């Protein structure tokens, strides 16, 4: 069997595993029409929104948020930003669950896609890289199957492992947010893939659950309103490992993503 046959077989097995057992929909879908949306525009004249306040019942983290914002603003490239994160002592997660250094990002700087997960787990903590455990391997297979291998920079909403792999709390995400935002600004992706409910809800400031948010386009906006990017929430690969039947929905989200990412520019 040729290598290309094996690759095709593996891709088909991945699809079948996720419930994709037919290549045709019941009704024709014009994906070009469906995906017609204005390309992302920098929006220089949007007034700067106020710094996000701590959600009700969460600790006041305005001090560490301001410090993170100041340190992030000084970083002029991703390496400098990673060094600033590593030196930052304002996130409590650093002292709670994390055994090792900050887990910043992996993948291609300058890639068209930025994937934002929730927070590092045990394997990520051990290796110092995001999404390298079981869920990360599935994420890589999904991105590869969608033709996105080597075309994404992968990070999380927090840079230290929450104890016991719990979901990061909103105040922990708030503290790390200036660094996440600066990473997006420096990496200049064309769009964001928000992986998991805790990522999607925080990045988009939404209260809906991931099953309602997934597969729909939103606009992510920087704190000062100068950068806007299309953002697509999808299911977390850890959830897909527990619920393989849901892979079908994740695959549909990836098709939505690549249709917009790879669509040739059109006149407005």
Which residues lie near ligand URA (CB under 6 A)?
Answer: 117-121, 124, 130-131, 133, 135-136, 156, 196, 238
Between the CA of residue 67 and those of 57, 87, 91, what are the distances in Å? 22, 12, 10
Which residue, 72 or 132, is less far from ligand URA as judged by CB? Answer: 132
User: To the nearest whole angstrom, how small is the minimum distance from the Cβ of residue 59 to ligand URA?
Assistant: 22
User: To the nearest whole angstrom, how small is the minimum distance from the Cβ of residue 52 to ligand URA?
Assistant: 21
User: To the nearest whole angstrom, how small is the minimum distance from the Cβ of residue 135 to ligand URA?
Assistant: 5
Report d(CA 235, CA 253) in Å as an integer.
9
Three-state DSSP at 17 gives helix
Q: Which residue is nearest to ligand URA (CB)?
A: 117
User: To the nearest whole angstrom, how small is the minimum distance from the Cβ of residue 158 to ligand URA?
Assistant: 9
Placement of tokens 């939404």 in the chain:
206
Which residue, 111 or 135, is less far from ligand URA as judged by CB? Answer: 135
Which residue, 136 or 170, is less far from ligand URA as judged by CB? Answer: 136
Which residue, 20 or 126, is less far from ligand URA as judged by CB? Answer: 126
The closest of 128, 132, 194, 109 to 157, measured between CA atoms, is 194
Report d(CA 199, CA 182) in Å as an integer.
16
Three-state DSSP at 114 gives strand
């Amino acid at each position: 069997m040729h290598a290309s046959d094996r690759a095709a077989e593996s891709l088909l097995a991945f699809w079948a595993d996720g419930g994709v057992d037919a290549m045709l929909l019941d009704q024709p879908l014009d994906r070009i029409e469906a995906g017609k949306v204005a390309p992302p525009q920098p929006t220089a004249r949007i007034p700067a929104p106020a710094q996000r306040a701590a959600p009700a019942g969460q600790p006041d983290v305005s001090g560490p948020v301001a410090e993170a914002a100041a340190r992030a603003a000084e970083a002029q490239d991703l390496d400098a930003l990673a060094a600033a994160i590593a030196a930052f002592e304002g996130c409590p997660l650093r002292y709670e669950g994390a055994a090792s250094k900050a887990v910043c990002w992996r993948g291609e700087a300058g890639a068209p896609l930025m994937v934002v997960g929730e927070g590092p787990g045990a394997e990520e903590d051990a290796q110092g890289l995001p999404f390298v455990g079981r869920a990360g391997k599935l994420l890589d297979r999904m991105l590869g199957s969608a033709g996105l291998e080597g075309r994404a920079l992968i990070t999380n909403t927090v840079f230290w492992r929450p104890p016991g792999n719990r979901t990061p709390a909103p105040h922990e995400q708030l503290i790390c947010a200036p660094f996440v935002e600066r990473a997006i600004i420096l990496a200049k992706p064309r769009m964001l893939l928000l992986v998991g409910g805790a990522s999607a809800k925080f990045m988009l400031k939404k209260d809906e659950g991931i099953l309602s948010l997934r597969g729909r386009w939103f606009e992510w906006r920087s704190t000062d309103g100068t950068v806007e990017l299309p953002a697509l929430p999808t299911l977390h690969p850890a959830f897909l490992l527990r619920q393989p039947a849901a892979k079908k929905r994740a695959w549909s989200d990836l098709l939505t993503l690549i249709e917009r990412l790879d669509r040739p520019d059109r006149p407005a």
